Amino acid sequence: MAFFEVLDKSFVSFVMGNATLKQIATGFDWVEGPVWFGDANCLLFSDIPNNRIMRWIPGLGTSVFREPSNFANGHTRDRQGRLISCEHGARRVTRTAHDGSITVIADSFEGKRLNSPNDVVVKSDGTIWFTDPHYGIMTNYEGQKSQQELPCQVYRVDPDAGTIEAVLTDFACPNGLAFSPDEDRLYVADTGVIFDDSAERHIRVFDVGPDNRLSGGEVFHTISVGFADGFRLDRDGNLWSSAADGVHCINRDGELIGKILVPELVSNVCFGGRAKHQLFITATTSIYMISLNREGVQRP
């Protein structure tokens, strides 16, 4: 069975025809937020509606890592390797230290509560960037229905200075975000206001200047079928995005060059494994994994 669809010949060397798409865990409701811990040889991911973070260890399988998780969604790691998490339920971004203690990174802006932080990245300078759409407070499925106090924005936190700034304010609902390997670009998905079928859903690209100033912001790529929720980049700057029919590989010029075909709707991906050459895919009820001839951005 073919797990790949090649749309441009540049994609041929990215994949191996004999690599298998494996379902490594299943039985969840809506999985998101994959993050690889190479030093612990495990994958963490969120099972959002069931209010828990799961841990998958090769050869051992899946167990509960944290429950309740405050309806955690996206995760990443900071420069020290600590877990950074977006929590719908507590409407905050947290950091989990290696000893398990939890510190709040952000839960408000200008005196108002955040909506429901969705996805997060850490830049090499230690700043923490996250999106804050309203999906986690509009229904009781992925959090608790509650009042929206702020527009859906993208924020940057400097944890050393203790500052938070709204850096992108012209999104309907920002969602996945990721830097290019050399951090000269920031990609941010807009997935539109909830229950609005006419919403424009696309990935925008920003130039990251000195002092982290953003400019540009044109549409980089529009996923079809489905839309981009979460994504990650490989070391050569190709963007691997969630889509309704699998994972789409978009090159730095914004062109779709190939797909990994997945039998469930994909929400997000992350690179992991021994050489960061495996792609872990969160897809509705299951986690899938496939080996690629690519390596993810080493961060941290």
Question: Is the four-CA dihedral 89, 90, 91, 94 of positive or negative sign?
Answer: negative
Residue 53 in tokens: 């973070």
Select from 78, 119, 132, 264 the one that contacts Mg ion (CB under 5 A).
119
CB under 5 A: which stretch of 63-71, 117-125, 207-215, 239-247 binds Mg ion?
Answer: 117-125
The reply on whether position 115 binds Mg ion by CB under 5 A is no
Query: Quick one: 15 or 239, whose CB is closer to Mg ion?
Result: 239
Query: Quick one: 118 or 291, whose CB is closer to Mg ion?
Result: 118
Query: Quick one: 10 or 284, whose CB is closer to Mg ion?
Result: 284
Query: Quick one: 96 or 268, whose CB is closer to Mg ion?
Result: 268
Site string for Mg ion, 170-189 (x = CB under 5 A): -----x--------------
CB 229, min distance to Mg ion, A = 5
CB 47, min distance to Mg ion, A = 14
CB under 5 A: which stretch of 84-92, 111-119, 122-130, 232-240 binds Mg ion?
Answer: 111-119
First to last CA, the chain: 35
Select from 76, 94, 118, 282 the one that contacts Mg ion (CB under 5 A).
118
CB under 5 A: which stretch of 119-127, 215-223, 247-255, 271-279 binds Mg ion?
Answer: 119-127
What Å distances lie between residue 183 and 127, 154, 253, CA to CA?
A: 12, 17, 16
CB 143, min distance to Mg ion, A = 13
Residue 286 in tokens: 């299951």
CB 181, min distance to Mg ion, A = 21
Query: Quick one: 175 or 291, whose CB is closer to Mg ion?
Result: 175
Q: How many CA atoms lie within 13 A of 28 on its CB side?
A: 30
CB 179, min distance to Mg ion, A = 16
Site string for Mg ion, 227-266 (x = CB under 5 A): --xx------------------------------------
Query: Quick one: 230 or 272, whose CB is closer to Mg ion?
Result: 230
- The total number of residues shown for the chain amounts to 300
# of chain residues touching Mg ion (CB under 5 A):
5
CB 138, min distance to Mg ion, A = 14
CB 289, min distance to Mg ion, A = 19
Interface residues for Mg ion in 81-100 (CB under 5 A)?
A: none
Contacting residues toward Mg ion, per CB under 5 A? 118-119, 175, 229-230
